[in-house]
Structure 1
Amino acid sequence: MISFRLLLQQGCIVLKRFWGLFLMSVLFPLAAGVQPVWALSGLDGTTSHNFVADAVSQVAPAVVRIDTERTVQRQPFDPTLIDPLLRDLLGDPGIGPERERGQGSGVVIDDEGLVLTNAHVVERVDAVSVTLADGDQHDGSVVGTDPVTDLALVRLDGGTRPEAAPLGDSDALEVGDWAIALGTPYGLERTVTLGIVSSLHRNISSLGFSDKRLDLIQTDAAINPGNSGGPLVNGRGEVIGINTLVRSGPGAGLGFAIPINLARHVSEQLLTSGEVVHPYLGVQLVPLTARIAREHNRDPNSLVELPERFGALVQSVLPDSPAERAGLRRGDLVIAAAETSVSDPQTLLKQVDQAEIGVPFSLRIMRNGQEMSLSVNPAALPGLS
C-alpha cells in the first residue's frame, strides 16, 4: 500500500516541475528580448493605447448619429376597454396624426457628405437630423433606400463635412478576424464594442427574414438598438460592414453586419438613380449535399432520386416567373450559373445579383440523372414599392 507521505512527496515533485517549466517559459522569452502577447496588445497597462484605439481613431470622426421623425396615424380604439374613472379624468384621446421619432447610426463614406446607413433607419421619414462626432448638427436628405439589402444613403445638407472613413475589403475577411462596432446604441454617442468575426456568409433567410437578400457577417461584438447603420471595423481601422440589428430576445448576443463590398455597390446605384434594381429568377432553393441526397434516396417513399453532389435544389417555382418561363421545375438541381460552379443557393443568388435584367442567363442543371442547359431572362424583383 502506498503511504500518504509518499503521495505527498510525489505531489510536491510534480508541482516543483510545473512551476519550473512555467518560469522558464516566461523568463526565457523576456531574456531574449521577446515581448509577451499581453505587452504587444497593450493589456499590461504600460502602453497608452492599443490597436483597437488606433483603429477607432481612423473611423470615429466619420461616425454619425441619425435622428428621424415621421407622421403616423393613431389607430382608433374601443373606449369601453378603458376604466370609466380614467376616461372621465383624462378624457377621450383624439384620433389623428402624431409624430414618431427614431434613432440610428451612420458612417460618412465620401468627402461630399454621403452617409451610409440602414434602410429601416430612414425609410418613410419626414425629417432627418445628422449629428457629427464633434457635436455639430445638420439636416440630412435621403438619397435613396433599398429594403432588399436594408441599406440607405443620406446626404448632409450644408455645413462642414467630416473626413470619410476608409473602406476595407469584406471579401478578404476570415473567421477570427477582429471586429469593432461603432455607433450610438440607445442614444449613447461614441460607443465602441470589440469582438471577432464569428462567421461569414450567414444567410439572413435562416434568421427569419425572407424579404431580405443578404449574406451577413456574424460577430460577437455587441450591436444594440441605435447601432443600426454604424460601421463594423477591422483591426486596421477599415470599414468592413454596416451593422444591422436583426435579432432580439434569444440569441441577442449575436450581431450581424452587411458586407461593405455589397454596401459600396448598392450605394453607387442609389447615388446614380435613387433606387436599386434586383434581378430575380422566381425559385425557392434549398442546399443539397451528398449526405442529404443519400438519406433522401434511402427513403422508400421518395418520389425522385437526387444526385449525390452539391448544388442548389429547386424546391418550388413561382408562377409566371422567369424560372417558369425558362422551364425550371421542382426537383431540378442547379450545378452551374453563368459558367460558374454552384455549390449552394447562396452561390446562385450571388450570380443572379450580378446578372442584367432581360439579358439571357445560362443555367446548368441535373434532371432525372441527366445534365442539361437552360437559358433564363432575369426580371426585376417585384413588390419593392
Structure 2
Amino acid sequence: MPMSLNRRSLRRNLLRSCLAAGLLAAGGASVQLLPPLRTAIARPATAALSRQSFVAAAVQRSGPAVVTLETSRSMPTSSVSGLPPALLQDPMFRQFFGLKGGRAPSSQVQRGQGSGVLFDSQGLLLTNAHVVDNADQLMVGLADGRRVPGRVVGKDTLTDLAVVRLEGKGPWPTASLGNSDRLQVGDWAIAVGNPFGLENTVTLGIVSNLNRNVSQLGISGKRLDLIQTDAAINPGNSGGPLLNADGEVIGINTLVRTGPGAGLGFAIPINRARAIAKQLVETGRARHPMIGIGLSPVPASTPGAAIPPGAVIRSVQPGGPAARAGLREEDVIVAIDGTAMADPAAVVSAIERRGIGDALIVTVRRGGSTLDVSLTPVDMSSLSRP
C-alpha cells in the first residue's frame, strides 16, 4: 500500500513536472513574441527622433553656404574722438591731457562683422548693405575654414541688401533658395549666422508674422516688408539666412528689436532679395518705382478716434507720373488696382510690387467724389523727392 501510494505520488509529481514544463514552453513561446513588440515600440521613438532632428538636416543642407564677413575701414581720428585733428596734434594740448606719443594718428581702423549666404556657384553671396557699407577691406570666412577676400558687386540701401563676390577659386557651396510667397504664420524658422563672432550659430523659432512694413518699426527711408520671427537674431546675424524646415533660404536676417519688445527678429523675404540681387549683379544698382508723391496717414475725425484707412497726398512732384495723371495735394488714396490701401506704407509697397513701366489704377477720394486715375511708375533715380 505504501508502495502503491508512492507510485501514485510519483506519477502525480511527474505530471506536475510535465505541466510545469508545458507552461514553461508556453512561456517560452510568448517570449518569442516580444521582439515584434519591441519593434512596434521602437518605431514611434524613431519617428520622434526624426522630427526632433529636422533642424540638423536643414542646417546640413544650407549651413556650409553661410559665411562670416569681416570688414575694416579707416576713419579720421576726429570722427573717432569727436575732437578736431589740429587740436589732437597740438603738443601743448597733448602734454596737458597726458596723451602719450609725439603725434596723434591721423586715422583709426574700425572693424565690423556680419553674416552672409552664398547663393551662386560663381561665388556670389547675399548680405545686408549696412554690413559692407563704406568697407575698405572685406574678408569672407567659409564654414570649411577657408578665408578669401570679397568685393562688393552692388548694394541697395533702400532694401538693405548687397551682393558680394568671392575673389578666389571655387568650388563654392551654395544654399537652396525657397519661395517666401508660400510662407504661412506658424511655419518653422531657423536662423543661421555668426552673432557676436560665434560662428555657425543656429536658433529655432517660427514665422510670427508676414509683411511687417519697416515703418511699423519706426524706421524711415527704407522700402521693406519683412518676415517677423521669434528665432533669436543678434548682432552679427545680419545678412545671414533664415531657413525653413527643408533647409531652404526664405529670408535674409536684417533687424532685431532691442529694449522693450526684445526678442523680435526680422528678415527680408528671399523673393524680394533674389529680385534685388539680380539687378545688382547685372547693373550694380537696383531700380525702384516711384510716382512722385509724398504721403501721410489720414487724420482721425476726432481726437482719440481710429485712424481711417488710406493715405493723404501731401505733396506732388512736378513733372512726375502723379502730376501728369492729375493727382493733387489732399487727395486720399484709398485703393490701387482695386486693393484697399490701409496706410501710406501699403501704398508704397503696392507701387514697389508693380514695378517700373507697368501701369496701375489709383483710386482716390477727392471731396465727395471717388476717381480712378491711371499712371505708370518711373525709376526713382529719374525723380527727386518731393
TM-score above 0.5, yes or no: yes
Give the counterpart of 1:145 among 148, 155, 172. 155
**Percent identity at matched positions?**
47
Alignment correspondent of 1:280: 290
Structure having the higher helix fraction is 2
Alignment correspondent of 2:281: 271
Alignment correspondent of 1:88: 98
Alignment correspondent of 1:323: 322
Alignment correspondent of 2:210: 200
Alignment correspondent of 2:25: none
Assess, with a 3 A threshold, how the Cα gap between structure 1 residues 130 and 340 changes in structure 2: closer, same or farther. Answer: farther
Write the deviation string for residues 139-162 of structure 1: whole angstroms up to 9, x where unpaired. Answer: 111100000000000011112233
> 2:116–2:127: 8 Å Cα contact kept in structure 1?
yes
> 1:66–1:103: 8 Å Cα contact kept in structure 2?
yes
Q: 2:136 matched to 1:126?
A: yes
- Please tell me the residue identity of whatever aligns with 2:138: V
Q: 2:73 matched to 1:67?
A: no
Alignment correspondent of 2:333: 334
User: For 2:248 and 2:180, how far apart are their aligned partners in 1?
Assistant: 10
Assess, with a 3 A threshold, how the Cα gap between structure 1 residues 93 and 380 changes in structure 2: closer, same or farther. Answer: farther
1:72, distance to aligned residue in structure 2 (A)? 1.4
> 2:94–2:100: 8 Å Cα contact kept in structure 1?
no
> 1:181–1:223: 8 Å Cα contact kept in structure 2?
yes
Assess, with a 3 A threshold, how the Cα gap between structure 1 residues 356 and 255 changes in structure 2: closer, same or farther. Answer: closer
Assess, with a 3 A threshold, how the Cα gap between structure 1 residues 322 and 130 changes in structure 2: closer, same or farther. Answer: same
Give the counterpart of 1:209 among 203, 207, 219. 219
Q: 2:244 matched to 1:234?
A: yes
Give the counterpart of 1:255 among 258, 265, 285. 265
User: For 1:34 and 1:285, how far apart are their aligned partners in 2?
Assistant: 63
1:90, distance to aligned residue in structure 2 (A)? 2.5
Q: Where do 1:1-385 residues align within 5 Å?
A: 40-42=47-49, 50-75=53-78, 77=83, 87-88=97-98, 90-91=100-101, 94=104, 96-285=106-295, 296-297=300-301, 299=302, 312-320=310-318, 322-337=321-336, 339-344=337-342, 345-355=344-354, 357=356, 361-382=360-381
1:92, distance to aligned residue in structure 2 (A)? 7.4
Write the deviation string for residues 41-92 of structure 1: whole angstroms up to 9, x where unpaired. Answer: 43xxxx6961111111111010000111112122152769x99887235357
Structure 1 residue matching 2:131: 3-state secondary structure? helix
1:371, distance to aligned residue in structure 2 (A)? 2.1
User: For 1:377 and 1:100, how far apart are their aligned partners in 2?
Assistant: 44
- Please tell me the residue identity of whatever aligns with 2:228: Q
Assess, with a 3 A threshold, how the Cα gap between structure 1 residues 89 and 352 changes in structure 2: closer, same or farther. Answer: closer
1:272, distance to aligned residue in structure 2 (A)? 0.6
Structure 2 residue matching 1:88: 3-state secondary structure? coil
1:123, distance to aligned residue in structure 2 (A)? 1.6
Structure 1 residue matching 2:310: 3-state secondary structure? strand
Alignment correspondent of 2:29: none
User: For 2:378 and 2:141, how far apart are their aligned partners in 1?
Assistant: 40
Write the deviation string for residues 337-382 of structure 1: whole angstroms up to 9, x where unpaired. Answer: 3x34233345433332244546654322222232212233434335
Write the deviation string for residues 199-251 of structure 1: whole angstroms up to 9, x where unpaired. Answer: 11111012121111100001111111110000000111110000013533333
Write the deviation string for residues 7-60 of structure 1: whole angstroms up to 9, x where unpaired. Answer: xxxxxxxxxxxxxxxxxxxxxxx99x6999987443xxxx69611111111110
User: For 1:39 and 1:369, how far apart are their aligned partners in 2?
Assistant: 67
- Gapped regions of structure 2 (runs ≥ 5): 1-36
Write the deviation string for residues 309-333 of structure 1: whole angstroms up to 9, x where unpaired. Answer: x853225225435434533334433
> 1:234–1:240: 8 Å Cα contact kept in structure 2?
yes
> 1:285–1:313: 8 Å Cα contact kept in structure 2?
yes
- Please tell me the residue identity of whatever aligns with 1:378: P
Deviates more, 1:49-58 or 1:327-336: 327-336
> 2:189–2:204: 8 Å Cα contact kept in structure 1?
yes
> 1:41–1:51: 8 Å Cα contact kept in structure 2?
no
Alignment correspondent of 1:25: none
Write the deviation string for residues 264-306 of structure 1: whole angstroms up to 9, x where unpaired. Answer: 0000000110000111124344667xxx9xxx45x49x9xxx9
User: For 2:48 and 2:321, how far apart are their aligned partners in 1?
Assistant: 54
The CA RMSD measured in Å over matched residues stands at 3.5
Write the deviation string for residues 131-189 of structure 1: whole angstroms up to 9, x where unpaired. Answer: 11101011111100000000000011112233211111111111111110000111111
- The structure number with the bigger radius of gyration is 2
User: For 1:354 and 1:204, how far apart are their aligned partners in 2?
Assistant: 16
User: For 2:329 and 2:156, how far apart are their aligned partners in 1?
Assistant: 30
- Please tell me the residue identity of whatever aligns with 1:250: P
